[in-house]
Amino acid sequence: MERIQFAEEQIRRYSRHIILQDIGSTGVKKLIGSTIGIVGAGGLGCPVVQMLAAAGIGHLKIIDGDNVELSNLPRQPLHFTTDVGRKKVDSILEKIIALNSEIQVEIFPEYLTKANAIKFLQGCDYVVDASDNFATKFLINDVCIHLGIPFNIAGVVQWMGQILSVDPGKTTCYRCIFHTISSGDESMSCSAAGFINTVPSFAGILQANEAIKSIVGLHQKFTNGLFTFDLRENSFDFIPIKQNPECAACSHPEIPFYKTENYNVDLDQCNIQ
C-alpha cells in the first residue's frame, strides 16, 4: 500500500476526515489531488465552494460573470456588504484564500457558454452546477456526458429544491428526465419566483457532499432519480427515474448534444446568479 505523506499542518487541518471511516488518509489524498469545476458563484456556489475549499480540494475552477448585488446577500454567504458591485468570483476568491491558502483556485469572470464550456470543464474530476437557469444546466449536462465527468445539478425555487447526481453513461442524466428546454421554463427558474434564503445553502451543502463522495470513491446517492425537498414542510423525498434509452445526450456521448440541438434560448446570453 502506498505510504501517504502529509505535512504536519495538513494532518491537523484534515484530522477529522483522516480519522473518518470511508475517507481516511487515502480519501484526503484524493481530495487534495482533485480538480472540481463550479459553475456559478451565487446562492448554490457559495456553500459548494466553501465546503470544497475547506475539505482541501486541491484545485477549484469557478466561473461566473455576475457582480454582487445587495439582494444577493441574504442567500450568498461568501459575499459581504462591502463586496456589493464587485465580481462574484473576485469576492469568493478572497474568502477562499483566507479559508485555505493551500489550495489552487482559478476564477473565470464570465458566463459558461457553448464557446467556452468544453475548455472550462475539461480536466475536471467532478463538476457542480450552481447556476440558476435551465440553459446552463443542459449545457453542463451535455458537456459532462461528452467528457465523461461525473457531476450534479440542482434547482431551487421558493421553499423547494431538487438535486440530480450523474455518473455519465451509467446513470440517469438531466436530459433523460427533462429532455429539452420548453418555452416558459426560464421565467420559473429566475429569481422572480423568489426563495427563502436557507434553500440554496441547504442544496449546496448536499451538492458538495455528493462531489466529495464521488472523489473519494463512494457512490453518489442522488443518482437514477431526483432528490427533492421542501423546507416549508420539512419534507424530503427521492423519486426514482430510470435512464432513458432514447436520451439524446446519453445515446450519443461522442458529440455534445448542445451542438445539434436548436435551443430556444440563446446559451451565449444565459445568465448565472
By beta-carbon proximity to Zn ion, the closer residue of 46 and 249 is: 249
Residue with cell 472550462: 120
| Nearest CA among 12, 87, 99 for reference residue 53 | 99
- Asked whether the beta carbons of 58 and 35 are under 8 A apart, the reply is yes
Residue 177, C-alpha cell as written in the block:
428526465
Least distance in angstroms from the C-beta of 177 to Zn ion = 8
| Binding flags for Zn ion, 176-195, as an x/- string (CB under 5 A) | x-------------------
Task: Show contacts with Zn ion in window 140-179 (CB under 5 A).
Answer: 173, 175-176
Select which of 190, 247, 250, 270 is catalytic: 190
Least distance in angstroms from the C-beta of 164 to Zn ion = 11
For residue 111, which phi and psi values (nearest 5 degrees)? -90, 150
CA distance 25 to 18: 5
Least distance in angstroms from the C-beta of 255 to Zn ion = 14
Q: What is the CA radius of gyration of the chain?
A: 18
By beta-carbon proximity to Zn ion, the closer residue of 113 and 141 is: 141
| Nearest CA among 82, 78, 26, 72 for reference residue 52 | 78
Residue 136, C-alpha cell as written in the block:
446552463
46 in active site: no
By beta-carbon proximity to Zn ion, the closer residue of 130 and 250 is: 250
Q: How many residues bind Zn ion (CB under 5 A)?
A: 6
Residues 149, 250, 267, 272: which binds Zn ion (CB under 5 A)?
Answer: 250
Residue 248, C-alpha cell as written in the block:
439524446
Least distance in angstroms from the C-beta of 248 to Zn ion = 8
By beta-carbon proximity to Zn ion, the closer residue of 96 and 250 is: 250
User: Rounded to whole angstroms, what are the CA distances from 198 to 37, 57, 231?
Assistant: 23, 24, 8
Residues 247, 267, 270, 272: which binds Zn ion (CB under 5 A)?
Answer: 247
- Catalytic residue numbers read 190
Catalog residues that contact Zn ion under the rule CB under 5 A: 173, 175-176, 247, 249-250
